[in-house]
Amino acid sequence: MIARIRHTITGLTICAILGANGIRPAMAVQPRPANSLPTRTDVVWIGVGIAAIGAGIAIGVILAVGHHNHNVTGCAAAGPEGLQLLSEGDQQTYALVGNVGGIKAGERVRVSARKQKSGSGGTRQLLVDKLTKDFGACTVSPAHP
C-alpha cells in the first residue's frame, strides 16, 4: 500500500511540474525593463517553484527513508520454529528469517532487519539482512507471544 501511495504522489508531482512548465511560456509575452519589480505573476511562479522543490525533496526523503532497514537489539533464543529475538525496544518476540547464520541462541545481538507480516503461527517476523553487532551472552526471558 505504501508503494501505491508513493507511486501516486510521484505521478502527481511529475504532472504538476510538467503542467507548470507548459503554462509558463504562454504567459510570458511582454518583456520587462531590467530594473522593474517582480509582478504578481512572477511571485506566484516563484511560490510554485518553491512548492515543487519542496515536494521533490519530501518525496526523495520518503523514498530514501522507506527503503532503509531498522536496527533491532535483543536476545536471541531457540524457538519452536527456529531462532527468535526478544526485542529490547518493544518487548516483542520475533521469529528470525533471512541471513541468520551468524546469530546464536543466548546471545544479545543487534540486527539490521525489516519487520514482516505474521508467519503461519501468528508470530511476528524479522527479515534479517545482516548481524550488525554481537554483544555477547544474555539472559533470555521466556518468549512472549
Place 53 in a pLDDT band, splitting at 50, 70 and 90. very high
pLDDT at position 49: 94
Which triple of cell numbers denotes residue 100?
Answer: 541468520
Where is pLDDT greater, at 30 or 83? 83
pLDDT over threshold 90, residue 70? no
**Arithmetic mean of pLDDT, 54-78:** 81
- Which contacts of 37-46 are long-range, i.e. CB under 8 A and separated by 24 or more positions? 45/20
